[in-house]
Amino acid sequence: MPAMVEITNAEKTYKGGFQALKGVNLEIREGEILALLGPNGAGKTTLISTICGITMPTGGTIRVGGHDVVTEFRKARALIGLVPQELTLEPFETVWSAVRFSRGLFGAAPDEAYLDDLLKRLSLFDKKHSQLQELSGGMKRRVLIAKALSHDPKVLFLDEPTAGVDVELRRDMWEIVSALKETGVTIILTTHYIEEAEAMADRIGVISDGQLLLVEETASLMARLGKKEMRISLAEPLTEVPASVSDYELTLEEDGALLIYTYDTRAERTGIARLVAALAEAGVVISDVETRQSSLEDIFVGLVRKNDKEDAA
Ligand SMILES: Nc1ncnc2c1ncn2[C@@H]1O[C@H](COP(=O)(O)OP(=O)(O)OP(=O)(O)O)[C@@H](O)[C@H]1O
Ligand SMILES: [Mg+2]
């Protein structure tokens, strides 16, 4: 299947000289949900804005549905729905006029049946004639999604759909997004929360300092995050890992005084009890034990270091 969004060497340098995107390469498949994860100022909104044609890339090419977002802006933009990071709605407008107007903006012919169905899918149908100021925060977010989908786009961008939203509403949003996926819409969302990316996305892209550090299937990334280390301090240093425990994932550090066991917290058994017993059996005396979980931050740091080294090379 061809890529729905193809980003090749995308760069963005803002007026004033700040480079917010430093050569991003990414392909997003039709029908997938991709989460862009990264800290404040990483370039998530900038990347979305360049794909949506809100800001011009200063280098590279971006295609949506095969259309170049600069030279074939209208064709590309017609395929895109965007829910921006900043919430903007007219207080006195009704839900209905808001979605109808958004559809009109894209030059799509009026289609009340499509819009009614959309409002039903987003549980907004009974609010069709309510003014936006009468709606709760969660409903307002749904209206923004309805507006973004009003012209039946093929790709939906959600820029931090759950920022400042309570847990219940967040789960609600996750359900809405997975229901949209069922309709075949390709979805790109940004978030600061790893658990959110895990709950919703097929793949996760990590972006930091204008660079895409990795893109990986959610399951395999989460498996890496599930790795935990048990750091076993030894009373007497060892010269090598005892043969009786050689089938464990063990490394010796600090001149043999520290034995590190890496295990998967998601595995049914961690093997810790058997390892400790086997070490005792082999006559190894343990003086202290500490465990550490590799966090997304560790992965970030590891990746950034690797990047720096490659840059220097
Ligand atoms: N219009 C602009 N002019 C100059 N610099 C900008 C502009 N917009 C964004 N930037 C800078 O580009 C960098 C990336 O900003 P961007 O909004 O893309 O980050 P983000 O990953 O979306 O962050 P957040 O998680 O806070 O939303 C930041 O350093 C920001 O200050
Ligand atoms: Mg942003």
Quick: pLDDT tens for 21-51: 999 999 999 999 999 998 889 999 999 999 9
Kindly report, residue by residue over 135-158, the tens digit of the pLDDT.
988 888 889 999 999 999 999 999
DSSP 117-170: HHHHHTT-GGGTTSBGGGS-HHHHHHHHHHHHHTT--SEEEEESTTTT--HHHH
Q: In the chain, how long is the greatest CA-to-CA distance? A: 80
Residue 207: strand pairing partners:
212
Mean pLDDT of the chain: 89
Q: Which residues have CB less than 5 Å away from ligand 2 (the ion)? A: 44-45, 85
Ligand 1 atom 10 nearest Cα: 20
115 has pLDDT over 80: yes
Q: What are the two backbone dihedrals, phi and then psi, of residue 243, each rounded to the nearest 5 degrees?
A: -60, -35
Q: Are strands 155-159 and 186-191 parallel, antiparallel or unpaired?
A: parallel
User: By the 8 A CB rule, do 110 and 103 touch?
Assistant: yes
- Is residue 49 lining ligand 1, measured as CB closer than 6 Å? no
By C-alpha distance, which of 163, 164, 226 is closest to 198? Answer: 226
- Is residue 38 lining ligand 1, measured as CB closer than 6 Å? yes
By C-alpha distance, which of 119, 243, 123 is closest to 175? Answer: 123
Ligand 1 atom 4 nearest Cα: 14
Q: What structural domains does the chain harbor?
A: 3-223 (3.40.50.300), 227-293 (3.30.70)
In this structure, what token pair is assigned to residue 294?
């590799």
Top mutation candidate among 11, 12, 45, 49 for ligand 1, by most atoms within 8 Å of CB: 45
Residue 289: strand pairing partners:
232
